[in-house]
Amino acid sequence: MSQIIIYTIITLVAIGATAAIILYFVAQKFKVYEDPRIDEVEEALPAANCGGCGFPGCRNFAETLVKSESWDDLFCPVGGNETMSNVAGILGREAIEQAPTVAVVRCNGTPEFRPRVTQYDGAPTCAIAHSLYSGEGGCPFGCLGLADCVVVCDFDAIHMDPDTDLPVVIDDKCTACGACVEACPRDIIELRKKNKKDRKIFVSCINEEKGAVAKKNCSVACIGCSKCFKVCKYDAITMENNKAFIDSEKCVLCRKCVLECPTSAILELNFPPPRKKEPVEASETETN
Amino acid sequence: MSLKTFSRGGVHPPEHKLSAGSKIIELPPPEVAVIPVSQHLGAPAKVLVNRGDQVKVGQLIAESSGFVSTNIHSSVSGKVLKVDQFMDSSGYRKMAVQIQVEGDQWIETIDRSDDLVRNSVLPAEDIRKKILEAGIVGLGGATFPSHVKLMVPQGKTAECLIINGVECEPYLTADHALMMERTEELFSGIQLLMKGLGVEKAIVGIENNKPDAIERMKDITKGSNVSVQGLKVKYPQGGEKQLVKAILKREVPSGGLPIDVGVVVFNVGTAHAVYEAVMKNRPLIDRVVTVTGKGLEKPSNFLVRVGTPVSSLIEKTGGLPEQTAKVINGGPMMGKALSTLDVPVVKGSSGILLVDENEARRKEVKPCIRCTKCVTVCPMGLEPYLLMTLSEKSLFERMEPEKVMDCIECGSCSYTCPCSRPLLDYIRLGKAEVGKIMRARKAV
């Protein structure tokens, strides 16, 4: 009995040893030289494999970083400037800084503002619904609420709010990889510059229809009245195709346009509530 | 009489031809007509009228803006209220001309008498020109401009004309009514098409659930070189490729058109419109529309002016039943639900179908069980389950070698799927995306 075991072990060890020797020489013969820096760079990348850089994965991006001469179009949105400077350190090059961005949903068509006039019953993806009709609220530019953006997010940074039927971006988790921007058939999601304390001001509507038509479907639609454009002192607002757009690079968050907008289409997020001293005190005394 | 049919795939949905046998009722013009300028495949027509202009019935209001495009005529007389974006059956606002109807004045060149005019002396070229001028498109639903079909590309020859009187969609009876009531005109239209195309032979294909229409057409065409072929009932026999296969046993190659096997197919409605255009100088301004549904008081076939709102059509059949869940533009297999009833009837509207909650509701989607029923019924020999999976996963470049562009969107796969998977919805999405990829490649 023990003999059988011993012979088996000896045979297997012999086969293993022979194979190992053969494989060693084969490996030497067919060795492919790979720049060791690629591994190092890959190590420094966040390993999210999200495709936000435009390459199929972190490995592929690392190869490109090592090989390419110019880094103009190369940036890891997930790792941001920190990762890029680490990579630049490994390769002994200069990193190109880019301002961090975050995804912003430019539609505020909640059932309250944009009443649902039809009911969609087809395949539950935005891409198909978009090819079929304008949407449950009748706005051909508005959010369809079928969560294509949520499905593609690798970072759990976006979820649907059941009350508003709109996607909500969690700023801390969003890496600005751009997957949701690609997925949205209506280009509602935009990557905008990240500000201090995640403050942002943006036109939360991309409707290009005439004011009256847009307003009929949705009470918070941008009607293209140009009031915000006139009040902005920093040339941050442009009017095009019947809608306003605020350039996040130029905007200084002065909040003047927010007050000016007649349809409340311009949203301000994460700002402290406006200070109105007297009414607050009055209400306090009442409650006391 | 031997009955023929196509060989591959197909389904047998219940027919529900509720409005069969009902006479065509001509409706008066609506109060306000909205006439979209893109009622055909191809480039939208260019608007020629302005706000405030007075127009007459049959007046050209938008002209063809390219080779694959066609003319649009006013179907009513009155004042142009607006040239603006209006909701149409696509679910989006598209450019259209809105006309406030005042009276019913026709332009003088149109022969409005009921007299039958036969024996045209016009040469083939003039027939084609008149068809383009009259803005005729394929009335079977695809709305492909007819004059383009009549121009046989170089290196190809047309041997045979097939007239499509199949009407395989359940519920719809517009073509059936037309064959019964306008037989003479139809026959004359077929002869005009033959002349325009330069062919000696024409075959009318009719499914044998319409024996009266087969009989009627046979009587009229006796002794001429137009023959009538009865066909076994099977959906989607009205697809032109299926019809060519059924009648002539010729297979249209992948990516090809019937002209590749020497055939051109026209719908009976188109043939009738050709007669009206060539013999009576009457542009395509109205069409027969079936308004049907189980809840309706009297499902009927109406002769409707283009631009009439769908809501007024439904009123004419006794009003919208309370239990209506969906209003479908077209038949139940290929039609599309409307998001509002304020959309106009266009050249391609063959029917308005009202379905109740029970019929309309989509069942719960379950995972694919690999039963291959969809593969069995696909008349184009595709693998719908695979195409859907690829489309779901956005692997569009892999859909092209799977011949997704050959899909005729008949909906047999979705109809037959025991797991109620939305196969066709995803395949349509894939077709659109593959189309984009192909166009991008062409542009390079």
Amino acid at A200: K
Overall domain count for chain A? 2
- A214-226 pLDDT tens trace: 999 999 999 999 9
Average of per-residue pLDDT values in chain B: 92
CA dist B52 and B49 (Å) reads 9
Mind telling me how many Å the CA of A108 is from chain B's nearest CA? 20
Query: Chain B partners of A133 at a C-beta cutoff of 8 Å?
Result: 90-92, 339
Q: Are B149 and B295 in contact (CB under 8 A)?
A: no
pLDDT at A283: 43
Query: What pLDDT band is residue A285 in, cutting at 50, 70 and 90?
Result: very low
- Are both A74 and A135 inside the same structural domain? no
In the block, tokens 């069942």 appear at: B363
- Residue A220 in any domain: the answer is yes
- The confidence score (pLDDT) of residue A277 equals 54
Q: A82 and A115 share a domain? A: no
Q: Given a cut of 70, is residue B1 above it in pLDDT?
A: no
Of residues A131, A133, A213, nearest to B339 (C-beta) = A133
Chain B residues within an 8 Å CB radius of A134: 87, 91-93, 339
Contact A140 B92 (CB under 8 A): yes
Q: Is the pLDDT of residue B213 over 50?
A: yes
CATH number at residue A137: 3.30.70.20
Please name the amino acid found at residue A36.
P
Take residue B342 and report the two structure tokens written for it: 């304020």
Query: Between chains, do A133 and B360 touch, taking CB under 8 Å as contact?
Result: no
Check if the interface score ipTM surpasses 0.90: no
Mean pLDDT of A249-272: 91
Report pLDDT for B443. 87
Residue scoring higher pLDDT (B114 or A170): A170
Structure tokens at A220: 């918070």
Chain segment B35-88, per-residue pLDDT in tens: 999 999 989 999 999 999 999 999 999 999 888 999 999 999 999 999 999 998
**Residue B370 to chain A, least CA–CA distance (Å):** 20
HSE at residue B73, side-chain half, CA atoms within 13 A, is 24
DSSP character at residue A216: H
Are the C-beta atoms of B404 and B366 separated by less than 8 Å? no
- Flag whether residue B403 sits within 8 Å of chain A, measured between CB atoms: no
Structural domain for A110, as ranges:
101-269
Residue B282's pLDDT is what? 93
Whether B425 sits inside 8 A of A213 (CB atoms) is no
- Domain match, A119 and A255 both: yes
User: For residue A275, what pLDDT is reported?
Assistant: 65
pLDDT for res A280: 45
CA B87 to chain A, closest CA, distance in angstroms equals 10
CATH of the domain at A70: 1.10.15.40
Task: Over range A198-223, report the average pLDDT.
Answer: 92
Mark whether A87 and A105 lie in a shared domain.
Answer: no
For residues A116 and A217, state if they share a domain: yes
CA distance A166 to A145: 6
Residue A153 sits in the same domain as residue A262: yes
In the predicted structure, residue A288 carries a pLDDT above the cut 80:
no
Is residue A162 located within the same domain as residue A83?
no
Same domain, A66 and A134: no
Distance CA B171, CA B168 (A): 9
For chain A, the maximum distance between any two Cα atoms, rounded to a whole number of angstroms, is 97
Given A44, A59, A91, which residue is the final one in a domain?
A91
- The answer to whether position A275 is within a domain reads no
Would the pLDDT of A284 be above 50?
Answer: no
Q: Is A49 within the bounds of a domain?
A: yes
**Nearest chain A alpha carbon to B392:** A125
Beta strands B78-87 and B201-207, pairing class:
unpaired
Chain B residue numbers with beta carbons less than 8 Å from the beta carbon of A131 are 428-429, 432
Tens of pLDDT, residues B372-388: 999 999 999 999 999 99
Interface of A with B (CB under 8 A): 117-118, 121-123, 125, 127-128, 131-134, 138, 140, 209, 213
Interface size between A and B, measured as CB pairs under 8 A? 44
A190 lies in the same domain as A141: yes
Contact A121 B362 (CB under 8 A): yes
- pLDDT for position A196: 87
Residues A156 and A250 in one domain: yes
Residue percentage of chain A with pLDDT more than 70: 95
> B340–A118: do the CB atoms touch at under 8 Å?
yes
**Where are the domain boundaries for CATH 3.40.50.11540 in chain B?**
124-280
Looking at the fold, whether A150 and A225 belong to one and the same domain comes out as yes
Residue A276: pLDDT band by 50, 70, 90 thresholds? low
- Band (pLDDT 50/70/90 cuts) for residue A188 is very high
Topology given in CATH for the domain delimited by B124-280: Rossmann fold (3.40.50)
Q: Does B361 touch chain A (CB under 8 A)?
A: yes
Task: Indicate if A176 and A241 belong to the same structural domain.
Answer: yes
pLDDT for res B115: 82
Flag whether A279 is in a domain.
no
The distance of Cα A177 from the centroid of its chain, to the nearest Å, equals 5
The verdict on residue A195 lying in a domain is yes
Burial class of A261 by CB neighbour count within 10 A (0 to 12, 13 to 18, 19+): buried
Gap from A60 CA to chain B (nearest CA, Å): 20
